[in-house]
Every structure is written in C-alpha cells, then in structure tokens.
Amino acid sequence: MDRWLVALIVVCVFFGIVMIDSASSVWALDRFADKHYFSKRQLIFACFGLVVMFFISKVDYWIWKKFVWIAYGGGILLLSLVLIPGVGLVRNGSQSWLGVGPLSLQPSEFAKIGVLLLLAKKIEKEQHLMNNLLKGIAPLMLLLLVPFGLVMLQPDLGTGTVMLGTGMSLLFLAGAPYRFFAGLILLGLTGFAALVISAPYRLQRIVSYLDPWQDPLGAGFQMIQSLYAIGPGAMFGFGLGESRQKYFYLPEPQNDFIFAIVAEELGFFGGAILIALFGAIAWRGILIALRAPDHFGQLLAGGIVLMIGIQVMINVSVVIGLIPVTGITLPFMSYGGSSLLLILLSCGILLNISRHSTAL
C-alpha cells in the first residue's frame, strides 16, 4: 500500500479537524454552548472514516465490478427519495439531505462514487466503441446525466458540477473524440445559461461574483467577508485560533469557506501548504493510476483523483473569488460527515489499487 498517500491523507484529515475547531468555535459556543461541538463530531466521523478506508483498502478493487449497478441504482434511489416532500431535508435552500434524528446523509456525495464505478466498468468493457458517438458515448452520457439531473433538482450545482466534470474527464481519458467535447462545451454553456435564468438565486450569484459590493449585505455578503478574511491574513496570518471573520461575519465558516479561515489564520504560507498537500495527494494518485495492472484500475484511480481535484479547484476558486459562489465542500477540511466518509471511502479504493500497482 502507498504509505506516502496514507500519511498525506491522515495529515489532511487531522489538519481539517484542527481548522474546524478553530473556525467553528464561536458559532458552536453560541448555538450549542460548546465551542468544540463541530470538531468533536468531525473527529468521530474522521475516526470512523479512517477505519472504513483501511478496511476498503484490503478489499480487492476488481470485486467492485460485481456491485457497480447496485451502487449506481442505490444512488439513484436515494437521490429520488431526497426529492420527496417531507422526506428530504432542506438546508440553505437545497433539499439535499435524508435524516434520522440527529444524523443526516447527503445522498449526492455517495452517488458520485456509484457513477464513477459504473462508468469505469462500462468504459473498460466498451473501450472499442469510444470513437462511436451513438453506440459508445451516448449510453455513457445517459448514465451520467440521470444522476446529474436528480442532483440539479435539489438543486446542488456544486456537487452536480463535480459529478459531471469527473464523468466527462473519464471519457476524455478513455479517448473520446475531440469533436464530442467541442459540441459538449457549446451545449454546456447553453445549459448553464438556462440553469442561471431558471433560478433567480443563481443569477444573483453571477451578479455578486462580477461585483459583490453592488449588494454588500445580500448576495455579495459571503464573498466580501471571505475576501476580508483572506486579505488581512497576508503572508503568515494572525495565528491559529485568531480569526476575526469567524465572529459572525463569515457565515458558518467551518463549511464551504473554511479555506478563507485557513488563509486568515495561517496566511498565504498556510494556504499554500494546504494546496501543496492536495497536489501531493493528486501526484501519488496519478502514479497509482499510471501503474495500475488493468484498464479498470487505471480509470477508477484516475476518476478518484479527478473527483477530489475538481472539488478542490472549485472550492478554492470560489473562496478567492475566481468563480461565482456555489455550495461545495473542501475535501478533508470542511465540516460534514457525508463528504468526509465519501472521500475516505474513495481513498480506500485508491489505496487498494496501489497494493496491486507496480512499484511506486
């Protein structure tokens, strides 16, 4: 097993717990009279997730071929259940959770791995059809667009973008023709415009992205507060635990905008180290994918690396103002059990592939 990758994952997980404890302390104390409320729960998720990761790392990855339709179908079922009024829980305007008592599950997170497993198996089996748009690519696109459509009905543009981006990247790695991607980009831009027009809040996010100070107390509020965290952090930050924006300025800083708190407390230096850790994980994952013993392993490892990498790029780009705000967690760092468990489960599969890869 790739020990470097194990070490990088464990460092990221516990770095995330430390930053969640710092970022959430004020909110947790105000809401639950316990400043460690969020970090203690994340620690439980992390310990359970690491146990799952090491267990999965011992399960031969090709066994998952037998269960790809169950994983995919289970994801579709959960994504459908969450849309039923009274069953799905609504948070921050999105009906994306299923809950029982104090516990909640975000099905879209686990649907991503089901889609990835199915696409990897189908592409391996039908590699010879990758140049045929009708017989090869169209069925794969249908398998990808069904869960994507259900995610967009919640609506959850961030998770949908990661799912679609990972699937499209797999098709690119499989050798799909360039003309297909050219047509898809045109279609995607048209679809994106339609999605923005169909939901006023998305249009507000575009406007606030172009000029957040146009509505500083409304749509632009979160972006402005994020920049107020990052800018003063300068090179080395205010110090761990010394964030100012966590005092009810940046909404729920332990979630999607935790990178802003990292930059505020640890500065450019700390943010760069975190991005370097993600880069190192991607580097080890790419090596595992290149040296996997079969095409399924290559596609699966490559897909996991892409899924994590795309999510990191979108989250950090949102936080620093490069792209419009969309709700998406930062892997290993943001608070949330479903997100962390999915990432660690995926890393377990990646680690198992490394067991069978040629020497790293």
Arithmetic mean of pLDDT over the chain: 88
What separation in angstroms does the CA of 128 have from each of 64, 171, 283, 297? 22, 13, 29, 17
Rounded-to-integer distance, Cα 239 and Cα 19, Å = 12
**Phi/psi of residue 277, nearest 5 degrees:** -60, -45
Per-residue exposure over 170-208, b if at least 16 CB sit within 10 Å of its own CB, e if not: bbeebebeeebeeebeeeeeeeeeeebeeeeebebbebb
Of the candidates 354, 315, 349, 355, the one whose C-alpha atom is nearest the C-alpha of residue 332 is: 315
The more confidently predicted of residues 103 and 68 is 68
pTM value is 0.91
**In this structure, which amino acid lies at residue 215?**
D
CA separation for the pair 97, 107 (Å, rounded): 7
For residue 65, give both structure tokens.
């071929």
CA 54 and chain centroid, separation = 21
The lowest-confidence range among 62-66, 135-139, 237-241, 318-322 is: 135-139
- pLDDT of 360 higher than 60: no
Tokens of 66: 């037998």
pLDDT, mean of residues 82-99: 79
| Reported confidence tier of residue 303, pLDDT bands at 50, 70, 90 | very high
Tokens describing residue 157: 């543009």
At a CB cut-off of 8 Å and minimum separation 6, what does 335 contact? Answer: 20, 24, 38, 41, 42, 254, 255, 258
Residue 94, SS3 per DSSP: strand
pLDDT of 80 higher than 70: yes
**What pLDDT does 130 receive?**
79
Q: Please give the DSSP secondary-structure letter assigned to residue 133.
A: I
Bridge partners of residue 103, in order along the sequence: 100
Residue 359 pLDDT greater than 60, yes or no = no
Q: pLDDT (tens digit, 9 = 90+) per residue, 20-74?
A: 999 999 999 999 999 999 999 999 999 999 999 999 999 999 999 999 999 999 9
The answer to whether 352 and 59 are in contact (CB under 8 A) is yes
pLDDT tens by residue, 129-186 = 777 777 888 889 899 999 999 998 887 888 888 998 899 888 888 888 877 878 777 8
Report pLDDT for 98. 83
Q: Which of 121, 172, 110 is nearest to 143 (CA)?
A: 121
Please tell me the predicted confidence (pLDDT) of residue 109. Answer: 86
Cis geometry, peptide bond prior to residue 155 (ω within 30 degrees of 0): yes
Q: Residue 302: pLDDT above 80?
A: yes
Average pLDDT over residues 279-286: 96
pLDDT beyond 90 at 280: yes
Position 306 pLDDT exceeds 90: yes
Question: What pLDDT does residue 89 have?
Answer: 80
Residue 51, Cβ neighbours under 10 Å: how many? Answer: 12
pLDDT for the residue numbered 4 = 95
Instruction: Tell me how far apart the alpha carbons of residues 259 and 245 are, in angstroms, rounded to a whole number.
Output: 12
DSSP 26-43: HHHHHHHS-TTHHHHHHH
> Mean of the pLDDT values across residues 117-134?
86
209-233 tens-digit pLDDT: 778 888 788 778 888 999 999 999 8
The predicted pLDDT at position 44 comes to 95
Residue 118 corresponds to which amino acid? L
Q: Quote the CA–CA distance of 65 and 242 in Å, as a whole number.
A: 48
Question: Does the pLDDT value for residue 83 go beyond 90?
Answer: no
* Continuous segment of H or E residues that includes residue 228: helix 221-233
Q: What is the pLDDT of residue 56?
A: 96
What span, in angstroms and rounded, lies between the C-alpha atoms of 239 and 247?
Answer: 15
Q: Per-domain residue ranges for the chain? A: 3-356
First to last CA, the chain: 9
Six token digits for residue 142: 């249908």
Which among 342, 235, 238, 356 has a CA at the least distance from the CA of 293?
356
Give yes or no for residue 288 having a pLDDT over 90.
yes
